[in-house]
Amino acid sequence: MSTHELTDEIRAFLRKPLPCVIATLGKKGQPVTAATWYVLQDDDTILLNIEVGRARLRHVAADPRVALTILGESWYHAVSVQGTVVEVRDDPDMTDIDRVARHYTGKEYPVRDRERVSMIVTIDSVFTWNVK
């Protein structure tokens, strides 16, 4: 199902700590993917947090379009999100990475000696497989 709006069922799916892969556009326009953690926020934006220096930061600075695929308990339950990075901000006190880490592990992020950056993604459209 392709849609531009999130249903309550899609929101419930996206609020789970599920495996996620992000795609960005590389320097030569090629798609680049990486596993990542995410949190769906109350305003239907997606919070991502990555280490400073990662290629994804350079990619979204050049082209803010991203895609995320979130996998459910099986390959046959998934949501793909196409969106735009609308904000990139430093995370000096690690508030955002701790929020994301607690979502997945129940604990604060253990690596405290590397700078982190948060990205906020607005959702432009979603495509679902066996998620209503």
Query: The domain that contains 50 carries what CATH number?
Result: 2.30.110.10
Closest CA to 66 of 104, 12, 121: 121
Residue 129 dihedral angles phi and psi, to the nearest 5°: -120, 110
* pLDDT tens by residue, 35-65: 999 999 999 999 999 999 999 999 999 999 9
pLDDT digits (tens, 9 = 90+) for 103-113: 999 999 999 99
Q: Burial level of 8, CB count in 10 A (0-12/13-18/19+)?
A: exposed
Give the global pTM: 0.94
Domain count, the chain: 1
* Residue numbers of the domain that contains 73: 2-129
Q: What are phi and psi of 86, to 5 degrees?
A: -105, -10
Under 8 Å between Cβ of 25 and 55: no
Tens of pLDDT along 13-29?
999 999 999 999 999 99
